[in-house]
Amino acid sequence: MAQTSSSSFFSQEEVTKLKSDFERSGMENIKPLIQKKLIELDNTELNIAVSGESGAGKSTFINALRGLQNADEGAAETGTTETTMEPIGYKHPNLPNVCLWDLPGIGTTKFPAEKYLSKMKFEKYDFFIIISACRFRENDVKLAKKIKKLGKKFYFIRSKIDMDFDSVRRGRRKFNEVEELEKIRKDCISKLDKAGIPSPCVFLISSFDLDLYDFNLLNKTLEDDLPRMKKMVYILSLPNVSVEIVQQKKKELMKRIWMLATLSGAVGAVPIPGVSLACDIGIVIKEIIHFRKCLGLDDVSLQRLANMTGKPVEELKAVVKTPLFGKITPDIIARMYWGYIAVASSSLELALDFIPVVGSIFGAGSSFLMTYKLLRNALDDLTENAQ
């Protein structure tokens, strides 16, 4: 059986084993592997190192990638002088397993190039961002070469592109923005190539307007380069600066739903009145809260958005039209349950999506079907509101 996108957390060997175990011993036998995979998902860490000279915009980029403004609580300290004397980790406000690390610039008196590698503990980082506000310098090249020797990925970011364009506009010179971007990119690539970095990945970014320039291209490159578990973590950590990112988050979250429904189906086979529904409610409530955090619909995220836009948080909350916004109670889930029960009895649509063991687990009964239906509809509803 071909591996589907929905089962991308599983290797082909694991998918084959799931199917074989189910056919041999039923739902209970595949439960441990799915539980193990969910635990692995929830505990996958992502550590991103950000380096560059003072004034390059490291801290502002770190804040922007976490959906924070420079003045927000927990934001990385910004300034025109080098404020970083050792690696400082900044956890994501909603996903604590994601951490961005502000590294001191290489080649300073305190951190000479020859000692930088050991002092910064390079092995802990999944990939490196090297930022420059103008042109990449000798120390940036030294750092890239050291990272390459370790077999790690690195990406060059040319920051403050918005300021470059503002400067051109103040000079009253007409210019084509696309052509200007390409000119800057080619110049960066050419200089890095001559310095000994062949085919460098260079992205042009404004940390104050992440939806502009190369931010989407950067995300696509990182997604292609990251292992499948870390790819999901990275996508879910992104700020909602575009509808495209919200849709990417939905796609990743959908991959969890069939696994949770399968666990529900395994419990649903227990012949004790009330056990199935109680377990379903617990799974659904926990996951809806997770969905809201990832999609920026929790109270803390909305308050940050209110601060950013200058609007009262009550005004933003008024736009959210879903019963899943406030406190999630068993009563709300029960009302959803009875609202969906008429259509959930059909498993035909489920055979088309998100089930790696195609057709096999549909016999698990209403617990699987209902948990799947509840979570899928909740995600649809929350995604629409996030957009």
Residue 123, domain CATH: 3.40.50.300
Q: What is residue 100's predicted lDDT score, i.e. its pLDDT? A: 93
Mean pLDDT, to the nearest integer, of 217-238? Answer: 88
DSSP state of 188: H
Rounded Cα gap, residues 34 and 42, in angstroms = 12
Same domain, 85 and 190: yes
Q: What is residue 346's predicted lDDT score, i.e. its pLDDT? A: 44
Number of compact structural domains in the chain: 2
Q: What is residue 82's predicted lDDT score, i.e. its pLDDT? A: 56
Same domain, 87 and 231: yes
Rounded Cα gap, residues 219 and 197, in angstroms = 21
H helices within the chain, ranges in order? 12-25, 27-43, 58-65, 113-120, 138-149, 161-170, 177-194, 215-225, 228-237, 243-268, 275-294, 299-309, 313-319, 330-344, 366-386
Same domain, 211 and 261: no
Q: How confident is the model at residue 6 (pLDDT cuts 50, 70, 90)?
A: very low
Q: How many residues does the chain have?
A: 387
Q: Is the pLDDT at 146 greater than 70, yes or no?
A: yes
Same domain, 187 and 297: no
Same domain, 166 and 110: yes
Same domain, 222 and 295: no
Q: Buried b / exposed e across 113-124, counting CB within 10 Å, b at 16+?
A: eeebbeebebee
Q: What is the pLDDT of residues 338-380, one digit of tens each?
A: 555 544 444 434 433 444 443 444 444 566 777 778 888 889 8
Same domain, 339 and 272: yes
Q: Is the pLDDT at 277 greater than 80, yes or no?
A: no
Of the candidate ranges 88-102, 111-125, 130-144, 283-297, the one whose mean pLDDT is the lowest? 111-125
Of residues 321 and 232, which shows the higher confidence score? 232
Model pTM score: 0.81
Q: What is the pLDDT of residues 42-91, one digit of tens each?
A: 889 999 999 887 777 888 888 888 888 877 788 888 765 555 577 888 99
Q: Is the pLDDT at 99 greater than 90, yes or no?
A: yes
Of residues 25 and 84, which shows the higher confidence score? 25
Domain boundary among 212, 237, 262: 237
Same domain, 29 and 79: no
Mean pLDDT, to the nearest integer, of 250-264? Answer: 82
Q: What is residue 34's predicted lDDT score, i.e. its pLDDT? A: 79
Encoded tokens for 123: 């092995």
Q: Is the pLDDT at 137 greater than 60, yes or no?
A: yes
Mean of the per-residue pLDDT values for the chain? Answer: 77
Q: What is residue 55's predicted lDDT score, i.e. its pLDDT? A: 76
Domain boundary among 190, 213, 237: 237
Q: How confident is the model at residue 273 (pLDDT cuts 50, 70, 90)?
A: very low
DSSP state of 199: S
Q: What is residue 107's predicted lDDT score, i.e. its pLDDT? A: 59
Q: What is residue 113's predicted lDDT score, i.e. its pLDDT? A: 62
The β-bridge partners of 204 are 158
Place of tokens 């000479």: 112
Same domain, 34 and 50: no
CA 131 to chain CA centroid, Å, is 21
Domain boundary among 220, 237, 254: 237
Order of strands across the sheet that contains 127-132:
88-91, 98-102, 46-52, 127-132, 153-158, 202-204
Same domain, 303 and 344: yes
Same domain, 337 and 194: no
DSSP state of 57: S
Q: What is the pLDDT of residues 237-248, one digit of tens each?
A: 888 888 889 899
Q: Look up the domain containing 361 and give its range.
A: 5-42+240-386
Q: Is the pLDDT at 30 greater than 80, yes or no?
A: no
Encoded tokens for 160: 């403050």
Same domain, 38 and 71: no
Q: How confident is the model at residue 278 (pLDDT cuts 50, 70, 90)?
A: very low
Q: How confident is the model at residue 317 (pLDDT cuts 50, 70, 90)?
A: confident
